[in-house]
């Protein structure tokens, strides 16, 4: 079994640490914003292949973390970009408040 590559990236001045899906789900449940992209892509790159989500922003649209993960896998993964998602969390435990356009502590 292949092991997950451990690294962190800076995207828009914020550090994101790569984690497994289990830890991303726990962050989602705490109300934090999680970031994902195809496993062969590098977040914060020129084309910004990453997607962000949290349970507060997507409460009306999705049925939870699994629905978010399934949607992102369907639209963001293929043979070139990677066959599964790479998950990232912000170590500060923040959530992006889309109404105010700023990062706030997770609930």
Whether 50 is in a domain gets the answer: yes
Residue pLDDT tens, the chain, 107 long: 456 677 888 888 889 999 999 999 999 999 899 999 999 998 888 888 888 888 887 776 667 899 899 989 999 999 999 999 999 999 888 888 877 888 888 86
Q: Domain containing 13: what range?
A: 8-105
Question: What local confidence, expressed as pLDDT, does residue 56 receive?
Answer: 80
- Buried b / exposed e across 34-45, counting CB within 10 Å, b at 16+? bbbbbbebebbe
Cβ–Cβ under 8 Å, residues 21 and 29: no
The answer to whether residue 2 is domain-embedded is: no
Residue among 55, 56, 16 nearest 36 (CA)? 16
Local structure of 88: helix, strand or coil: strand
Number of domains, the chain = 1
pTM: 0.86
Establish if 1 belongs to a structural domain.
no
Q: Does residue 92 sit within a domain? A: yes
- pLDDT value at residue 37: 93
């Amino acid at each position: 079994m292949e092991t997950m590559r451990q690294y962190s990236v800076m995207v828009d001045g914020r550090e994101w640490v790569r984690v497994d899906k289990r830890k991303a789900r726990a962050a989602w449940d705490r109300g934090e914003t999680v970031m994902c992209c195809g496993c062969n892509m590098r977040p914060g790159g020129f084309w910004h292949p990453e997607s962000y989500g949290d349970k507060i922003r997507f409460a009306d649209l999705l049925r939870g973390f699994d629905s978010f993960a399934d949607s992102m896998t369907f639209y963001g993964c293929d043979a070139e970009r990677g066959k599964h998602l790479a998950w990232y969390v912000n170590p500060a435990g923040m959530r992006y408040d889309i109404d105010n356009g700023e990062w706030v502590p997770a609930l």
